């Protein structure tokens, strides 16, 4: 069923809102102010509170609309349909506006905090490559012919692809060298390619022809990459290494990280530089004037934030918690590599909420808490335990504005005020956004 409607505003999950006969409709590939024709998803005749649909024709386009730089990720009506880039039809300035509006709306609705015009920062060089070529980790699936493919949005249909425009130039170079696009894989096999960004000047400006052999600049990239990459099929590394080496320059110091190829790491090639730089600046300010500050680093992974916290905050002692045993083993190795002893930083593996019940007495009262939880957020029990420890500041790194807003409501109810909030567009062409919020303890009488 098709209908015509005027789009009203941004919504979450890469959709916009329209109303039809009093019913809310969440519309994909739309923009506020547009007059569009919408194909409603099935089933649409139930008496649900809302419907969903997708634009099939734009009668009056927004000035924020652009031709998708990756058409395959655009609307089905334009020959697209694969997932992974739901803002591909939006200009880069429009994407920042969308993400700012989403953060503000979720904080108002779920966090009960009124914030207008949340700043969202674009990562350096993303505009020069049109918001493409940022992913250092890509996951695909082999189609019935054994070729890399992506699933058509909302279905199990596998659409073959011959390149991945969101992948970094380094990833494309590795995939090209190994002939990944040629197929020959087991149908249905899960494909994961991980290529840490080589921190060399050429990698920031090199242009390729989509990862095909012989691309301009590929040889220089491949020389810099060496064996520091992984191609995994069904979780088994068939080329490269199981353990990778990530590099980040933070506060004029270069840090090296051992990272599991199958584990978590920030996916944008520049995120491991940009996010810690900002977090460390907040932590230094919050710990200023404290002779021997204690910092908790929760959901700490392989130590992306732990290492610069130990190096850049004077006199600090730290307590970190992470659920992945492999990540904690790597974090301990990474800390040891920069000379941090266990009495300076205790890195524990375990459920964060449960582990915070048994913090060593000397680390039980943090000056600052840094947390980078998964998409579901920290949740209420963790927030309660953080507040009970009475830190003067909480630095919350969030990959989902809704989860951040929910936890904001909990923290403000526990005596903390939201002092600052900033977005970082480390997921261009998608509705996702990284948000860093600073909470400070309200003076108590």
Q: Provide the annotated active-site residues.
A: 399
Inter-CA distances, 434 with 22, 358, 367, Å:
34, 30, 24
| Residues paired with 122 in a beta bridge | 425
Contact predicate 132/166, CB 8 Å:
yes
- Nearest partner of 277 among 245, 302, 244, 311, judged by Cα: 311
Classify each residue of 313-328 as buried b or exposed e, where b means 16 or more C-beta atoms within 10 Å of its C-beta.
beebbbbbbbebebbb
* CA–CA gap between residue 331 and residue 248 (Å, rounded): 15
Q: How far apart are alpha carbons 355 and 397 in whole angstroms? A: 20
Q: Which residues of 49-67 are buried (b: 16+ CB within 10 A; e: fewer)?
A: eebbbbbeebeeebebbee
Taking Cα atoms as reference points, which of 159, 163, 165 lies closest to residue 176? 163
């Amino acid at each position: 069923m098709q209908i015509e409607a005027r789009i009203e505003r941004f919504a979450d999950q890469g959709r916009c809102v329209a109303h039809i006969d009093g019913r809310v409709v969440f519309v994909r590939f739309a923009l506020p102010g547009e007059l569009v024709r919408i194909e409603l998803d099935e089933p649409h005749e139930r008496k649900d509170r809302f419907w969903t649909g997708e634009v099939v024709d734009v009668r009056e386009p927004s000035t924020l609309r652009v031709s998708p730089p990756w058409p395959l990720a655009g609307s089905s009506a334009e020959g697209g349909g694969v997932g992974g880039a739901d803002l591909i039809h939006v200009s880069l300035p429009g994407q920042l506006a969308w993400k700012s509006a989403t953060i503000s709306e979720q904080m108002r609705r779920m966090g009960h905090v009124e914030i207008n015009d949340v700043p969202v920062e674009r990562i350096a060089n993303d505009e020069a490559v049109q918001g493409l070529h940022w992913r250092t980790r890509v996951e695909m699936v082999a189609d019935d012919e054994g070729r890399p493919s992506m699933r058509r949005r909302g279905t199990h249909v596998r659409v073959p692809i011959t390149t991945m425009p969101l992948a970094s130039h380094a990833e494309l170079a590795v995939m090209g060298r190994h002939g990944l696009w040629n197929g020959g894989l087991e149908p249905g096999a899960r494909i994961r390619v991980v290529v840490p960004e080589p921190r060399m000047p050429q990698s920031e400006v090199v242009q390729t022809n989509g990862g095909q052999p012989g691309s301009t600049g590929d040889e220089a990239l491949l020389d810099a990459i060496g064996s520091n990459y992984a191609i995994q099929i069904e979780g088994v590394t068939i080329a490269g290494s199981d353990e990778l080496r990530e590099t980040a320059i933070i506060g004029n110091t270069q840090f090296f990280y051992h990272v599991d190829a199958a584990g978590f790491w920030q996916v944008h090639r520049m995120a491991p530089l940009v996010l810690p730089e900002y977090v460390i600046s907040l932590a230094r300010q919050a710990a200023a004037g404290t002779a021997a500050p204690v910092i908790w680093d929760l959901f700490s992974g392989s130590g992306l934030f732990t290492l610069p916290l130990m190096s850049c905050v004077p006199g600090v002692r730290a307590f970190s918690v992470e659920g992945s045993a492999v990540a904690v083993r790597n974090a301990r190795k990474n800390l040891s590599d920069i000379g941090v002893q266990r009495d300076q930083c205790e890195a524990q593996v375990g459920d964060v909420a449960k582990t915070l019940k048994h913090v060593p007495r000397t680390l039980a009262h943090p000056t600052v808490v840094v947390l980078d939880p998964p998409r579901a957020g920290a949740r209420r029990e963790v927030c309660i335990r953080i507040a009970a420890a009475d830190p003067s500041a909480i630095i919350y790194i969030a990959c989902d504005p809704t989860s951040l807003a929910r936890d904001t409501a909990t923290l403000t109810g526990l005596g903390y005020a939201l002092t600052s909030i900033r977005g970082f567009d480390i997921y261009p062409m998608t509705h996702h956004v990284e948000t860093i919020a600073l909470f400070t303890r309200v003076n108590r009488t």
